[in-house]
Amino acid sequence: MRFILPLFLLSLPLFAGMENLSYLSSSGKKITYQVESGKLIVRLDSDEKKKAAVEKAGYKIIERLSDMHYLVSCSTGLKVSSAIDSLAKMSIKASPNKIYGIKSLPNDTALSSQYYLSKISAYSAWEYETGFNSLVTIAVIDSGISAAHSDLSSKIHSSGNVSISANGLSGPAANDPPTPACYHGSAVAGAAAAATNNAAGIAGVSWGAKLLSVKIFNDSDCDISCGDVNSNGCVTSDSAIIKAVSYLKGLHGNPLYGKIVANLSLGGAGPCDSALQAEINDAYSKGMIFVASAGNDSSLVNSPANCANVIPVSATDENDSLSWFSSRGDAMLNGVAAPGENIYTCALPNTYANDSGTSFSAPIVSGVLALMWSYKPALSNSYLTEIIKKSADDLGERGPDSLFGWGRVNAFRSILFISDNSSFSSSKKITAFPSPFSPSKDGVINFYVPQEIVTSEMKLYIYDFNGDFIAEVKNFSWNGKNASGIDAASGAYIVLTKTDKGKASGKFLLLR
């Protein structure tokens, strides 16, 4: 499997050690980019005469990058552009050492506990869309999101959060900032769209999606763990869900809320009753998307996941096996699977914990849909529903089945399916699997290089974020050791290749 992807070059603030170069594009526009000052990549072809000539001219060879290219430093103060010109006069080709930025690797400190992000190829999806392109709101119809959680507060809408009584007799009443009846809604919200790249806690599937808390449980019925406290049960009802759906359909498309993905990590045995179905149909006809957890009773898919126009989500484990508890049946033919075991997410009061259940599979799918809708806001709910199924990784028996639906969701493929082909053919990207790469667990990281530049003597070069050379890779896989055979440190890395057919680059995280 090889993907053809765009090269991602970023404009970074100018740091010490960098220098700006510019060129005129074909349309005559001046394009400025950043290069490492005082360094060049020089083609010396392992030719001793050329090496001697370059050193005689005052350059210093720092490192052999490949059989063709060497990293060379200029004499002090010499501009990169001047150095390239003077070497050209000696018939020696030199290129600047261009600086590559990393946009899509978040810095959240608990990332290494979130196996589910690499499992659904979120890192690759984020190369294209992190959820900030256009406004999508994930409405969490649940026990309420805690605005006191530091990895959620910045993601929650400042108005529009509501509470509805569990029997639907009162509300929607404003609940701004929202308060939770118990932990569940916050854990669900965190998996979908926790504050990401904030150097704390977890990353959400969608960095940009906003959260709306629609609380349909009574505070007085639940303890913090969603246990019963008064013999009424910490439960809710169809009448409360109907009110929630009716409320949200009035917000969908409002510029304050954008597109709305409603997440229902709730379930009850039995069919989808006609009243609830009619309400969902009406909101769906107005463009909303509904995602619901299949259920945890290892029996038939629960309601509302078994309603038409709802995407049911079953749970998988770290090895893509169906979770023993996951509900199943023909209703799954409308849905997909997502990781639902040991999902490291937000907990109360302001902490994190592992949670299991289809409750945590559904928001992963809601997060992917939010990424897709942000990326392509013009697409319809029915089209996105179609694509999230078709782009899933098929599991179990071939094709859609009653356990995994259309397969385990794959964020990267979902984004690829809705991107313009043109944006993927104009430039090329190396994709790393798995990313993040944990050498102790996975042994090697594999690189996928666009087919059209692959040659028989393909070599890949790995650099750290400072631009320092780390390792040369053959056969498309790397064991995490640098050129001296020492384990490379945790961090962000860049992989580059260049052949006579073209060049490509990619980036990945290494976590020890």
Residue type, 269: A
Q: In whole angstroms, how close is the CB of 400 to Ca ion at the nearest point?
A: 6
Binding residues among 392-451 for Ca ion as defined by CB under 5 A = 394, 396, 401
Contact 192, 209 (CB under 8 A): yes
What are the Cα distances from residue 15, in Å, to 238, 314, 466, 467?
57, 47, 11, 13
Binding residues among 305-334 for Ca ion as defined by CB under 5 A = none
Q: In whole angstroms, how close is the CB of 407 to Ca ion at the nearest point?
A: 6
Closer residue to Ca ion (CB): 160 or 396: 396
Q: In whole angstroms, how close is the CB of 113 to Ca ion at the nearest point?
A: 12
Name the token pair of 406.
């259309």
Q: In whole angstroms, how close is the CB of 397 to Ca ion at the nearest point?
A: 5
Closer residue to Ca ion (CB): 295 or 407: 407
Give the integer Cα–Cα distance in Å for 427 and 3. 11
Contact 153, 145 (CB under 8 A): no
Closer residue to Ca ion (CB): 36 or 401: 401
Closer residue to Ca ion (CB): 108 or 355: 108
Closer residue to Ca ion (CB): 208 or 450: 208
Q: In whole angstroms, how close is the CB of 142 to Ca ion at the nearest point?
A: 20
Q: In whole angstroms, how close is the CB of 151 to Ca ion at the nearest point?
A: 5
Going along 99-219, which residue ranges are E strands? Answer: 136-142, 162-163, 173-174, 210-215
Closer residue to Ca ion (CB): 272 or 332: 332
- 384-403 mask for Ca ion (x: CB under 5 A)? ----------x-x----x--
Q: In whole angstroms, how close is the CB of 203 to Ca ion at the nearest point?
A: 6
Name the token pair of 434.
């798995």
Closer residue to Ca ion (CB): 190 or 267: 190
Contact 161, 173 (CB under 8 A): no
Closer residue to Ca ion (CB): 201 or 450: 201
Binding residues among 166-225 for Ca ion as defined by CB under 5 A = 195, 198, 201
Q: In whole angstroms, how close is the CB of 197 to Ca ion at the nearest point?
A: 7
Count of alpha carbons within 13 angstroms of residue 235, beta-carbon side: 9
CA-CA-CA-CA torsion for 285, 161, 266, 241, nearest 10 degrees? Answer: -50
Orientation angle between helical segments 358-375 and 411-418, nearest 10 degrees: 30
Tell me, by CB under 5 A, how many residues bind Ca ion: 8
Q: In whole angstroms, how close is the CB of 138 to Ca ion at the nearest point?
A: 16
Residue 462, classified by CB atoms within 10 Å of its CB into exposed (0-12), middle (13-18) or buried (19+), is: buried
Closer residue to Ca ion (CB): 191 or 248: 191
Beta bridge partner(s), residue 21: 33
> Which string of DSSP letters, residue by residue, matches 455-508?
-TT-EEEEEETTS-EEEEEETTEE-SB-TTSPBPPSEEEEEEEEETTEEEEEEE
Phi and psi torsions of 239, nearest 5°: -65, -35
Q: In whole angstroms, how close is the CB of 202 to Ca ion at the nearest point?
A: 5
CA-CA-CA-CA torsion for 469, 474, 479, 482, nearest 10 degrees? Answer: -20
Contact 482, 470 (CB under 8 A): yes
Of residues 384, 400, 395, 273, the one with CA closest to residue 332: 400
Closer residue to Ca ion (CB): 229 or 511: 511
- 108-147 mask for Ca ion (x: CB under 5 A)? x---------------------------------------
The footprint of Ca ion (CB under 5 A) covers 108, 151, 195, 198, 201, 394, 396, 401
